[in-house]
Amino acid sequence: MKELLRTNDIALIAYVQALLRAEDIEVFEFDVNMSVLEGSIGILPRRLMVRQSDHFRAAAILREHEIQLPGEG
């Protein structure tokens, strides 16, 4: 697994998941339970993870849709 995106924006999470699933890339959402435990006020970011073998393609898809990745800016 490799981290693709870390964000508090649940709308962005849903959008990215839809983009990747449309391209048959399985995406996993980490830290959901921690985010819920803190009251869903957005303090703890959620992480979207993909398989190592899918990371390059997934990152390219996000760049095509002008979604900023960690470390790029």
Q: In this structure, what CATH number is given to the domain that contains residue 40?
A: 3.30.70.790
* Buried residues in 12-36 as b, exposed as e (16+ CB within 10 A): ebeebbebbeeeebebebeeeeebe
Check residues 60 and 36 and name the one with the higher pLDDT.
Answer: 60
CA distance linking residue 63 with residue 16, whole number of Å: 11
Q: Which residue has the higher pLDDT, 70 or 26?
A: 26
Name the residue range of residue 43's domain. 2-64
Tokens coding 49: 């993870």
Q: What are residue 39's phi and psi, to 5 degrees?
A: 100, 10
User: Looking at the domain assignment, is residue 70 inside a domain?
Assistant: no
Return the higher-pLDDT residue of 43 and 36: 43
Residue 69 lies in a domain: no
CB count within 10 Å of CB 66 equals 6
Q: At 20, is the pLDDT very low, low, confident or very high (cuts 50, 70, 90)?
A: very high
pLDDT value at residue 53: 97
Total domains in the chain come to 1
Structural domain contains residue 44: yes
